[in-house]
Amino acid sequence: MSISKSEFGFFRGYKCWLVTLTNSRGAVARLTNFGGAVVGLEVPDRNGVNADVVLGYDTLQEYVDGNSSHGALVGRYANRIGGAKINVSGREYRLSANDNKVNHLHGGFFGYNKRVWTVDAMDGGDEPSVTFGYVSPDGEENYPGTLKISVKYTLTNSNALVIDYTAVSDADTVINLTNHSYFNLKGAGNGDIKDHVVQINASQYTPVDELLIPTGKLAFVTGTAFDFKTPKPVRQDMDNGKLPNGYDHNFILGDPGVMRTAAEVCEPETGRVMTVKTDKPAIQFYIGIGLDGENGKNGKKYNKYAGLCLESQFSPDTPNKPQFPTCVYKAGQTYRFTTVYEFSVR
């Protein structure tokens, strides 16, 4: 087990670092304080051979220029807010309409994925960890309140990447932080993820309109393309015509604050298994529909469906859907959640 830090480059005069965590089993996580992003995650297959299972880039400039949020921490509100507006404590706030010029997506034009975070702590102990911090000032992207954020990444000896989120605002605000890693358990850039076998422990999902804003209703997954209660290949209900374009949908897990196994992904060829645990109330399943052949790590192209995301979150448009569990945090109230991506073999 070890931890190291090396220079990754500069962004607007701020130094960016690449922090490498290695556990006792030889798994490796590489992280940068630019966007708080997971740059790489090397875990073994059933033969003990490591591969990097997270999509990303080789250089800082590619992270600066890229628009896919590879591996990044996303906020102040991850996912979409309809009409790019929220109401907090009786006051309306107009947010950046950076999604179809109508809605708000992933914190706006200059969200947390494009910010330089501080490296607040590094621990090279038995399970190495790094903690990134960011202070989002009152009025940034027109969100109310100065929000102090701390995100700790820990690489455990069970080959899990644990993400602990903590945030406190000095005024009432909405908070919804997530990590936007794209996973391909065959290895980043090694084809698509359509044959990955997915299980999502959710009996309901949020139907959306043509711009992917939830209607406000909850629908049962049984008998639909969204039924992953029993494991099935990603391609199954794409190939049979139920959902030809694939998935960019939010699944309901339960009450916030209750740790549960949200999903499991298995890649049959390598035997790699990823188990996702979280105490957040929902999870977005996205299969890289918007990837369009950009250059990724080691000269590989990331085409459509090159990776899948399982983003723990509050449901999209929660600020405008009072029937969803609230994401409004009062001044001084602590936002605290944990998401775990654990890797094993089968």
Cis geometry, peptide bond prior to residue 235 (ω within 30 degrees of 0): no
* Alpha carbons 303 and 291: distance in angstroms, whole number: 5
* Alpha carbons 122 and 131: distance in angstroms, whole number: 6
Phi, psi of 320 (to 5 degrees): -105, 10
| Cβ neighbourhood burial of 115 (10 Å; 0-12, 13-18, 19+) | buried
Instruction: Give the CA distances from residue 216 to residues 17, 175, 292, in Å, rounded to whole numbers and listed in that order.
Output: 41, 19, 31
| Given 104, 180, 196, 249, the catalytic residue | 180
Query: Is 180 part of the annotated catalytic residue set?
Result: yes
| Given 140, 141, 311, 342, the catalytic residue | 311
* Alpha carbons 48 and 26: distance in angstroms, whole number: 10
What does the block give as tokens for 103? 């809605």
* Alpha carbons 106 and 75: distance in angstroms, whole number: 6
Residue numbers annotated as active site: 180, 311
